[in-house]
Structure 1
Amino acid sequence: MKEEEIADPTTEKDERVETPTYAHSEEKIEVLPDVEDRSRGHLNAVFENPLAGIPREQLFKDVAEFCHKYDLMDHVETFKKGALISQDPAKATSLPELTDDERVALEREHTHKWSQPWQLYFLASMCSLAAAVQGMDETVNNGAQAIYMKPDQLNITTANIQGLVVGAPYLACAILGCWLTEPLNRYFARRGTIFISCFIAAVASVWEGVCNTWVNLFIARFVLGLGIGSKSSTVPVYAAECSPAPIRGALVMMWQMWTAFGIMLGNIMGVAFMSLSPDLSWRLMLGSTVVLPLIVCAQVYICPESPRWLIQHGKIEKAYTNFRILRPTDIQAARDLYYAHAGVELERKINKGKNFFTMFVELFTVPRNRRATWASWIVMFMQQFCGVNVIAYYSTSIFTEAGYSLTSGLLASMGTGILNWVFALPAFFTIDTWGRRNLLLFTFPFLAIFLLWSGFSFWIEADNNSSKARVAMVTTGMYLFEVFYSPGEGPVPFTYSAEAFPLHVREVGMSWATATTWCFNFILSFTWPHLVQAFKPQGAFGWYAAWCVIGWFLVLLFVPETKALTLEELDQVFSVPTRKHASYQMKNAWWHFRVWVLRQDPPPLPPFYQNAERLAEVGNFALE
């Protein structure tokens, strides 16, 4: 059998590292060197599959020791089968050790991928509610700030104070909230972190509603950000770690879809309370967000803890119990547990003696991690600088400037929230089939077009004859922007970031990713009033349209696809040198331009991941 070539993860040079591939029959099997015997530069070749190449007898011995150590001897035969499946998943159904029912279960993972235990969907619903908390926290302030900005309310007189109050939660997320994720997860696990963050959000919601000065409101919203940051980092990771690979993207993107639902609820609260007295209306808008986080707090401990977190903390028997809850059969639970355990043990050897600081440094110094960090930064940065939260936070003010009354502006803002949620639904069906990259590459050009549409519509004179035309054009542009944002930059960033990092730096990596999005969220919310003052709506919208064009090229060159691969298989994807990936994607873009624009018939490009049959088969990842 030929040797498989794997891109060297330690360098950007055009070099290869040869590692043996293995067969099940009479061919000689070589054993990969132990991790301590390899140089640090070759670790990613091992990470591709920590069980690959282990002789069957040795594998069974390791499984028996594992089951004996963790009091799982009653399930040792199931774990042996699971280990064999993990060694070569592409040929799993041909293993003679499997029963007919077990073969059917493995096949159904791909033919009936939505046939999952109800507990998995209950967990997804809890994560969805946590996301709705997030979205509602963001947009109830949209209508409220149009009211408390009046001189007789909180005496907010400058754009600086307005931007500071609106952006306070996102400032807190960026500088503190997101970085609490790792210690909170370490001591309280995924469920505990979600509970704590939602409790903080509930307290801050009540606090917002009783504020009597803008300083008090700023402090309350800053505290709100402490809950938003750790929750936004933890919930997508929790969903990713509990979900099977074929539907992981769809379940993780529920975060953004139900964040959009929360955004819609926030806009609805603005409409619901707008007819009350000004001093009462904005308080009820902000205070209405107390309900959902309390529901999450009551529900979260009914869900199972993340099995991968339990494995990482040595609670193997409990992890198996939870995998059995979250998987249709014991053979799938045993397979996922043993495979994840093997990866965790390998990572534990590599990261022995490391602390938070060293893991953070490795986000940028280890090539595999650096590529994931850079790709996650791009999608998270662009989630803000595509301009969406200009609409989420200031749409009521934008609509009133376009010519709406305050009441009509609140109703029009509710429309943006409804569209944001409704058009997130298509991503539920496409994110694991069409892929993360394609959703972004398809939608970014439209985001740029409709931002320009909205901004340039302000050149229509707001006189008696044309004011209706200006209002209609601004509204249409902003609504169409939401239509294309929701299936692309809406769900992809949190899904992508939750799965891109290896387990041993996942909390730190997700903290980095979410701190990125909340940092630029604050910058956007703080600077928008200044942009509008300096460059008028035309220039302000044009600024973010330009970033959408830049974002298209960044995704094309530096963001690999991750759909339908296990969290462990993604190590090989991010081991490909950046220069190789960017070079190929430029050729691929030119090939598609020739086909679809010039109407030529060029020869197809070779698959990018040469000799990665497993990735191509499971992930459908070989580019056409």
Structure 2
Amino acid sequence: MQSNAHITPSSKLFHILIIPRICNPLAGISKQDLLARVASFCASYELTDKLSIFEKGALVAQNPDSFESIDELDEEDKRHLRREVTHKWHLPRTLYFTIGLCSLGSAVQGWDNTGANGANLSFPEEFGIAHNTWLVGFINAAPTISGLFAAWAADPLNNMMGRRGVIFFTGLFCVFPVLAQAFTQNWWGLLLTRLIMGIGLGIKITTIPIMTSEVVPATIRGGLVMSFQLWVAFGILVGFCSNLIFHDIGRLAWRFQLGAAFAPAIPILILVWYCPESPRWLLKKYRIKESFESFCRLRNTEVMAARDLYYAYNQFIVEEEVFGGSSFLTRFTELFTVPRIRRATIGGAIVMTAQQFSGINIMAFYSSTIFAQAGYDSKHTLLASFGFGLVNFVFAFPAIWTIDTFGRRNLLLFTFPNMAWCLVAGGCCFLLPEESAARLPLIAFFVYLFTAFYSPGIGPVPNVYAAECFPLSHREIGAASCIFVNNALSSILGLTFPSLLAGITPSGAFGFYAGLNMLAFVIIFFFLPETKQRTLEELDYIFGVPTRRHAAYYSFTWLPWAVKRHVLFQGKASLEPLYHLEGFEGRNMGEAGAWH
């Protein structure tokens, strides 16, 4: 293995951007030199009392899978490092508290979507706009319309206030404008409150996945970061319950259905300050001692905390050498001009676009309308929509275990074709005679089956992917760009769907989204890199692979191997992996399927 100890930060970054190798930034450094660097690091950041801890952490970070041979570690240290592999979900309560509380903020988004879903049955009539499908669509899409512009504020706000401060600030938008919806007296008042609410939602859904991705270990990052989507699904389910509870109130039901969504934000405003600040945000601010204290609250031992901090610090210094001190405009430009960051921007845009292509937000906003057109009465429409919310929530759970083992990319490649045929089948059921007893149950069945495929796949992946694919220097503005794409498409689809439904019928609408699902499948297959079980710092190397090389690999290397292995049943067919590990003893990917 070639040593990279002599490589300067700038040349090292150039090296990783053009060579498809995942390199440990501490690889090739002699033990004596490494310990000297650790001593200098501790002296610089008032951590000399933790010198022995950081020496252990640096040695483990240098050879993560060879810790058994590190003499400096005692048996207790090694026991905890073993359990990190064998009991990877055994983590401090503070970590789970932080993930749970922060992700609770996403429940507001899901609850509001379903509140609007039920409210669509009554508020257009009360305000006399039922005939204006474009205006109804605009009111429903208002939070995503304002949110797509507000997402860009996540970068400066996170820079000034930190992750916790931004989560608290956006929580205020999830209380007062949400409640104000219930008291509006005309359609433009409802539109205004929803636009204001969208400002907070746009910033919040950018920040929460970043916060969660920065505090969790790499091996289960996907499973914990996807809690954001799990809480969205929970909010959708509770929102449908709320719709049913308030249904019998009559024409004022929509006020309670919309206003009740403020509830999840209350505990966030009170308890968020009991969570540790993101250690990587503190690292970005060179508040190294505070970053270590935060890591200590989020890891099982101080050695693990020191390992993660020192590893992240070394990669951060490389990024700072190239990108440090750049302005907002410069960072925005670099999303498209710097190859490594541009690939992350493309990857994030792909998954966000694919989520909207799936058609799920149409189900969340308009399932009541769809079931009403299928022939259900008002009460049974809400019950059928509740079933959609229940399936969405229950089937989100498998992703907790599969997203970090099966992988983000493979989950999407499995679920998109299945969602497509479910939509085709559901659309065909609308063509059955209205007097047919099978018509309504079949439509509901295929909508539910579509949702069951969506929930463990394209449901959780986009927010996980967007939060992890960018380097620390561009994480906020990069995630904001992904949310902008997602909200822009969501706004367009939410605005146009009532007219689309009226123009091409439910069968045509379902067929249209089935085609978009298959288009998303093709784009993901050729252009989306896998990110599972890599630290946030190691992903710099994953996105160092040029897009054309990634597409060529799956076209001319992976596809022929797949045909030989799974069609011609040639068990001895071998596959050269796309990525090669450098500086991680024992982690070289020997099995062909491990990276595909």
TM range (shorter): over 0.9
Give SS of 1:255's match: helix
CA separation of 1:409/1:565 partners in 2, compared to 1, >3 Å: closer, same or farther? same
Q: Which runs of 5+ in 1 are unaligned?
A: 4-19, 22-29
Give the distance between the partners of 1:154 and 1:578, measured in 2 at CA: 51
On the 8 A contact 2:237/2:386 being kept in 1, the answer is yes
Give the distance between the partners of 1:569 and 1:258, measured in 2 at CA: 28
Deviation string, structure 1 residues 387-425 (Cα, Å, up to 9, x no partner) = 011110001011011000011101100110010000001
Letter in 2 for 1:453: A
Equivalent position of 1:142 in the other structure: 117
Deviation string, structure 1 residues 2-22 (Cα, Å, up to 9, x no partner) = x4xxxxxxxxxxxxxxxx24x
On the 8 A contact 2:66/2:585 being kept in 1, the answer is no
On the 8 A contact 2:23/2:583 being kept in 1, the answer is no
Q: CA deviation at 1:611?
A: 5.0
Q: CA deviation at 1:69?
A: 2.0
Deviation string, structure 1 residues 544-596 (Cα, Å, up to 9, x no partner) = 10011111111111111111111111111111121221122234244334544
Give the distance between the partners of 2:194 and 2:502, measured in 1 at CA: 25
Q: CA deviation at 1:188?
A: 0.9
Task: Determine if the alignment matches structure 1 residue 350 to structure 2 residue 319.
Answer: no
CA separation of 1:196/1:432 partners in 2, compared to 1, >3 Å: closer, same or farther? same
Q: Report % sequence identity.
A: 40
Give the distance between the partners of 2:182 and 2:576, measured in 1 at CA: 60
Q: CA deviation at 1:267?
A: 1.1
Task: Determine if the alignment matches structure 1 residue 286 to structure 2 residue 258.
Answer: yes
Equivalent position of 1:306 in the other structure: 278
Equivalent position of 1:370 in the other structure: 342
Task: Determine if the alignment matches structure 1 residue 165 to structure 2 residue 165.
Answer: no
Letter in 2 for 1:331: V
Give the distance between the partners of 1:457 and 1:60, measured in 2 at CA: 68
Higher mean C-alpha displacement, 84-93 vs 304-313: 84-93
Task: Determine if the alignment matches structure 1 residue 360 to structure 2 residue 329.
Answer: no
Equivalent position of 1:119 in the other structure: 94
On the 8 A contact 2:422/2:447 being kept in 1, the answer is yes
Deviation string, structure 1 residues 138-172 (Cα, Å, up to 9, x no partner) = 2211001111111x335343111011001000111
Q: CA deviation at 1:539?
A: 1.3
On the 8 A contact 1:129/1:258 being kept in 2, the answer is yes
Give TM-score scaled by structure 2 length: 0.95
Larger RCO, structures 1/2 (Cα 8 Å, 6+ apart): 2
Q: CA deviation at 1:458?
A: 1.3
2:528 to 545, 549, 559: 559
Q: CA deviation at 1:613?
A: 7.4
Give the distance between the partners of 2:521 and 2:583, measured in 1 at CA: 29
Q: CA deviation at 1:115?
A: 1.1
Give the distance between the partners of 1:263 and 1:140, measured in 2 at CA: 8
Task: Determine if the alignment matches structure 1 residue 31 to structure 2 residue 5.
Answer: yes
Q: CA deviation at 1:47?
A: 8.8
Equivalent position of 1:78 in the other structure: 53
On the 8 A contact 2:9/2:317 being kept in 1, the answer is no
Deviation string, structure 1 residues 227-280 (Cα, Å, up to 9, x no partner) = 1111111111101100011111110011111110111111111111000021x2
Task: Determine if the alignment matches structure 1 residue 61 to structure 2 residue 36.
Answer: yes
Equivalent position of 1:215 in the other structure: 188
Equivalent position of 1:26 in the other structure: none
Task: Determine if the alignment matches structure 1 residue 592 to structure 2 residue 565.
Answer: no
Matches within 5 A, 1:215-254: 215-254=188-227
Deviation string, structure 1 residues 431-457 (Cα, Å, up to 9, x no partner) = 111111111111111100111112121
Equivalent position of 1:10 in the other structure: none
Deviation string, structure 1 residues 44-90 (Cα, Å, up to 9, x no partner) = 47994332333333322222222122211110111112112222223
Equivalent position of 1:470 in the other structure: 439
Give SS of 2:263's match: helix
Give the distance between the partners of 2:584 and 2:442, measured in 1 at CA: 50
Q: CA deviation at 1:198?
A: 1.3
Q: CA deviation at 1:345?
A: 2.2
CA separation of 1:336/1:418 partners in 2, compared to 1, >3 Å: closer, same or farther? same
Give the distance between the partners of 2:572 and 2:59, measured in 1 at CA: 42
Deviation string, structure 1 residues 346-373 (Cα, Å, up to 9, x no partner) = 2222113411111111111111111111
CA separation of 1:618/1:427 partners in 2, compared to 1, >3 Å: closer, same or farther? farther
Letter in 2 for 1:155: I
Matches within 5 A, 1:393-542: 393-462=365-434, 465-466=435-436, 468-542=437-511
On the 8 A contact 2:23/2:581 being kept in 1, the answer is no
CA separation of 1:202/1:616 partners in 2, compared to 1, >3 Å: closer, same or farther? farther
Task: Determine if the alignment matches structure 1 residue 49 to structure 2 residue 24.
Answer: yes
Task: Determine if the alignment matches structure 1 residue 338 to structure 2 residue 307.
Answer: no
1:191 to 161, 164, 167: 164
Letter in 2 for 1:547: L
Give the distance between the partners of 2:581 and 2:246, measured in 1 at CA: 60
CA separation of 1:581/1:329 partners in 2, compared to 1, >3 Å: closer, same or farther? same
On the 8 A contact 2:106/2:231 being kept in 1, the answer is yes
Give the RMSD, CA atoms, in angstroms.
Answer: 2.0
Equivalent position of 1:608 in the other structure: 578
CA separation of 1:526/1:261 partners in 2, compared to 1, >3 Å: closer, same or farther? same
Equivalent position of 1:8 in the other structure: none
- Count of residue correspondences: 591
Give the distance between the partners of 1:247 and 1:166, measured in 2 at CA: 35
Q: CA deviation at 1:303?
A: 0.6
Letter in 1 for 2:574: P
Give the distance between the partners of 1:352 and 1:424, measured in 2 at CA: 38
On the 8 A contact 1:455/1:541 being kept in 2, the answer is yes
Task: Determine if the alignment matches structure 1 residue 153 to structure 2 residue 143.
Answer: no
2:245 to 269, 272, 281: 272
1:182 to 155, 161, 177: 155
Deviation string, structure 1 residues 298-323 (Cα, Å, up to 9, x no partner) = 11111100000011112111111111
On the 8 A contact 1:399/1:412 being kept in 2, the answer is yes
Give the distance between the partners of 1:91 and 1:425, measured in 2 at CA: 33
Give the distance between the partners of 2:450 and 2:468, measured in 1 at CA: 27
On the 8 A contact 1:47/1:568 being kept in 2, the answer is no
Letter in 1 for 2:542: V
Give the distance between the partners of 2:384 and 2:563, measured in 1 at CA: 38
Q: Which runs of 5+ in 2 are unaligned?
A: none
CA separation of 1:312/1:446 partners in 2, compared to 1, >3 Å: closer, same or farther? same
On the 8 A contact 1:385/1:524 being kept in 2, the answer is no
Give SS of 1:114's match: coil
On the 8 A contact 1:569/1:615 being kept in 2, the answer is no
On the 8 A contact 1:584/1:608 being kept in 2, the answer is yes
